[in-house]
Structures are given as structure tokens and as C-alpha cells.
Amino acid sequence: MKEAAKARFYRPGRDEAVECFLCNHRCHVAEGKRGACRVRENRRGKLYSLVYGRIIASHMDPIEKKPLYHFLPGAQAYSIATPGCNFRCSFCQNWRISQTDIAQRFDSIPYVSPEETVSAAARSGAGSIAYTYTEPTIFMEYALDCAELARRRGIKNVFVTNGYQTPEAVEAMRGLIDAANVDLKAFTDEFYRRILKASLQPVLDTIANMHAAGIHLEITTLIVPTQNDSEEQLRGIAEFIASLSADIPWHISRFHPDFREHDLAPTPLATMQRAVQIGREAGLNFVYMGNVLSPEGQNTTCPGCGRTLISRSGFARPNVEIEEPLCPACGRKLPIVLK
């Protein structure tokens, strides 16, 4: 059984303490203690990743499930996760592997080397490896090692993330991580501090840094009734995305009660539809609805002429009507990665 792997993204401090700069918690970790993520431990002045290679989930998913609608549409993503998270979302949909005490029993999880993960992805015919389900930042060393091997074999790499990486971590992702779906969970610092035990501004900075690094970006917002569903918050999110690029897709996801949030009702469809309208009013060219039974808000249409380019129905294989990122009707260049 492989021992914990020495971490990167930290610097030594006084009295065998270390300063971790992987995520924006920037934890000061005393000797023998762990950071906010609970998976990085200081052992005599050296920081170790306790989850390197401890793969707790691995599945083949449609890339649309991430959700990524403009990156390899119709392809499959070999999706992996280790336990743990650096957020404490009360509505987490994967709380059993991100928030529970299983995160304390890492040695019971079989070790899978980066070579084994990439070989499994290649055998499966996946177009990409998705680092997902839990927060991939907390297993960054493993993800980057896999990503480097995957690129040599022509396999893309995708992060599904809360966006709490430091600028140093985003720079390490440059050239290795091809696409990211970032959860922009609200547009007030109060929400981030109260619900997630984090801060808003670092997420906004990370999104901007990823965009500048050339990582294909899509943004998701889970709309939680009474928590982040005000027009002011939704408009703030939409206008922020548009300030970076009107072509960044915004995925509006419907809330369903889970984990510690069982007293709230699912997001009304009318709220979802209003959010789509707000996104379009802000100038966004691509706004989608997720976690809804209706096919509304799933298709990709040309923002120039309105022609349907990609038709979707849930997670069934989409009908991709283009062979290159150009609208066949009006010739408009499209922000879609097809291969």
C-alpha cells in the first residue's frame, strides 16, 4: 500500500509549521495537523497529500454531465475523484464522499497510480479525464500527474471545481488542464462565508485567471431558493461572466434538497426561466438550464442567426450538426471545441 505522497504548493514556516498555497484558504498548518481540506497533513515540517491516488469514484460520464456543452460535445469523460473538499456546502450532492468521515480512512481506499488511471481512460475510449465529483483542487498533485500523462496520449483534461485555486495553482494548470466548469455559487461574500465557509472574491479571481490562461471555461450556478435566487445576485453573476466574455456558457442548475438542506423546495421553473432571461439581458450568448425534466434551455443555437447547432435531451448523446466551429448558416465563428 503506497504511503502518503509529499505535497507541492507549500512553503516551510517556523517551528515546523508550513504555509499551504494550493487553495485560497492558504492554511497555516502546524506540525501534526491538517489543513481546511482535511486531506493535507504536516509531518515534521513537510506537507503530505493523504489522498494521492486514493480513487474513491471512477465512472464513464457524458461530458455534458459535467456540465460542459461547448467542449467535445457527445464525447465520454473518464471521471475520477478522491475523498475530501475544501468547502463545506450544506447542500452538497456528493457529500458521502466529500464531507463524511470516510475522508479520515484513506488507507482503506485502494491506491491507483496515474499510469493506471490514464491507461483505464485510454482503454475506455474517453475523450477526456474529468477530475470531478469532489473538489479536484484537493488532489491537485495527482490530477496534474495524470494530466501530463494523458496529454501524451491525446486525452484532454477537465476540472469540475469550486474555483478556489490560488494564482499559483492556476499557473500550474496552464497547458495541462484543457477545460473547467467552475461553480459560481452566489454573488455575495455573505453567502460564501455563511454557507460555504469561504469567500467570493477568490473565486471571481480564479475564473478570470483561468480565462487568461486559455482554459476553456463554463460556469454553473445552482439556484437555491431564498439563498442566492434574487434578481440582484443572478444579474451580478451574469454581468460578471459577460465582462470576461459573452461566449462563456452559463449553466443554471435546479436545486433539489440534499445533505443538510431538506427544508427548502426545489427551485421553481419560473425562477430558472427568469435567470435565463437575466443572462441574456446581460449579453450572454449561451445560457442553459440543468436538472430540469423539460428540454427547454438545453440546445445550442447560433447567437448570430438562431440556427440550432447542437440538440440535447438530458444526457443522451447530443445531435451535433456542425463539423467545425462555424455556423453553417451564417458563417459565425463558434466558441466550441469539437476535437
* Domains identified in the chain and CATH numbers: 5-49 (no CATH), 57-298 (3.20.20.70)
Summarised one tens digit per residue, pLDDT across range 24-52 is: 999 999 999 999 999 999 999 999 999 99
Nine cell digits for residue 264? 427548502
Measuring CA to CA, which residue among 174, 175, 265 is closest to residue 224?
265
Nine cell digits for residue 274? 427568469
Statement: residue 262 has pLDDT above 70 = no
- DSSP codes joined into one string, 246-257: TTS-EEEEE---
- DSSP codes joined into one string, 65-119: GTT-SSBSTT-EEEEEE-S--S---TT-TTHHHHTSGGGG-GGGSPB--HHHHHH
pLDDT score at 3 = 67
> Alpha-carbon distance 36 to 293, whole Å?
37
pLDDT score at 31 = 96
Summarised one tens digit per residue, pLDDT across range 296-334 is: 899 999 999 999 999 998 888 999 999 999 999 999 999
- Whether the bond between 67 and the residue before it is cis, its omega within 30 degrees of 0, is yes
pLDDT score at 1 = 46
Summarised one tens digit per residue, pLDDT across range 93-130 is: 776 777 755 546 788 899 999 999 999 999 999 999 99
Statement: residue 261 has pLDDT above 70 = no
pLDDT range class, residue 151, cuts 50, 70, 90 = very high
